[in-house]
Amino acid sequence: MKVYFDNAATTKVRDEVVDEISGVLKNCFGNPSSTHSYGRSAKSFIETSRKSIAKILNCEPGEIIFNSGGTESDNSILKCAVKDLGVKHVISSKIEHHAITHTLEEIENKDVKVHYVGLKDEGEVDIEDLDRLLRSNNEPKLVSLMYINNEIGNILDVKSVSELCRKHNAYFHSDAVQAVGHYPIDLSLLNIDFLSSAGHKFHGPKGVGFTYINKSTKIKSFICGGPQERGLRAGTESVHNIVGMTSPDKCSMSFFFCFTASSCCCSCSCCACSSFILSASLFYAQDGDLLIQQYDKNSIDLEFYRKLNFEVFQL
Ligand SMILES: Cc1ncc(COP(=O)(O)O)c(C=O)c1O
């Protein structure tokens, strides 16, 4: 038996998802923008997926924009915030994913300044320092901080950050690639403008994801082309991948969500929940293999698994 300790890098696609995807590939080849029945059928699959994500995150279906995954989502929000919203200051952290840090390097110039919020010893965002940065001037600002860190598993105090952003009239983006599907998120309770997610982190296919864009926040498409996704993401939608990411009832996302929702001791955003997330990921086993989210190397006793004759793979 093998143990895979790299679920934060990617997860195994669930068998139901593979079946769902091949069904769509075989039977639903229409272009969702076509007005004939093949196209309309493809479109209806996409809209059903959109509704199921919106239901899980408690937002409106029109606020979910499908794309190719976390990297595209992160890039598009940072760049569009500068281009379309006139953002002059981006506040982020040094421990964001490269999809954020490298994009920040690219957008920083004489008109756009990037500020890195202070972090505490264990990687938590220093809220007082964030408050200081937000107060520093009255120019338009975007805060981009990840919901759950992909290496150390810290969970951002999203509620406090979102309240601070509202108080200082700053836009708030959260890279929730490691959170969606693993952790309960209720967008109706949070002042979040943008949220990024990717299907392959919660047992869906690779190369598909979505951005939540709050309906009151107006940005334009990041790439030029057709009017897909209500003009917010050009390019023919990857219907089979979208369905695979969100197929109702069998969807990995709702699977995890149900599990987390019923097992979580609290609905707060505190760091104590990290261990809970770990156990949520431990829960998933298929074909005799155990798949584990390796957020915190120290919290996993590798010897324990070796003694049980698991083959252990580690980053
Ligand atoms: C926190 C975080 N953001 C962004 C990404 C990039 O997502 P994708 O692989 O879908 O482009 C990842 C993937 O490793 C991630 O963990």
Q: Is 233 touching ligand 1 by the criterion CB < 6 Å? A: no
The CATH number of whichever domain residue 97 belongs to comes to 3.40.640.10
Q: Is 71 touching ligand 1 by the criterion CB < 6 Å? A: yes
Same-domain pairing of 47 and 175 = yes
Same-domain pairing of 302 and 192 = no
**96 CA closest ligand 1 atom index:** 1
The pTM (predicted TM-score) of the whole model is: 0.85
Looking at the domain assignment, is residue 26 inside a domain? Answer: no
Please give the pLDDT value at position 253.
52
pLDDT tens digits for range 181-216: 888 899 999 999 999 999 999 889 999 999 999 999
Cα-Cα-Cα-Cα dihedral sign, residues 246, 252, 258, 261: negative
Domain boundary residue among 245, 264, 280? 245
Look at ligand 1, atom 9, and give the residue with the nearest C-alpha.
Answer: 70
Cα-Cα-Cα-Cα dihedral sign, residues 74, 80, 85, 90: positive
Looking at the domain assignment, is residue 23 inside a domain? Answer: no
Same-domain pairing of 234 and 259 = no
Q: From CA 296, how far away is CA 314, in angstroms rounded? A: 12
Same-domain pairing of 147 and 77 = yes
Task: Calculate the alpha carbon distances from 3 to 199, 284, 290, 302 in Å.
Answer: 22, 11, 5, 10
Look at ligand 1, atom 4, and give the residue with the nearest C-alpha.
Answer: 70
Q: Is 96 touching ligand 1 by the criterion CB < 6 Å? A: no
Domain boundary residue among 204, 229, 245? 245
Residue 181 Cα to ligand 1 middle (Å): 14
Q: Is 178 touching ligand 1 by the criterion CB < 6 Å? A: yes
Same-domain pairing of 223 and 285 = no
Question: 126 is in which domain, residue-wise?
Answer: 37-245
Q: Is 244 touching ligand 1 by the criterion CB < 6 Å? A: no
Q: From CA 142, how far away is CA 146, in angstroms rounded? A: 13
pLDDT tens digits for range 139-179: 999 999 999 999 999 999 999 999 999 999 999 999 999 99
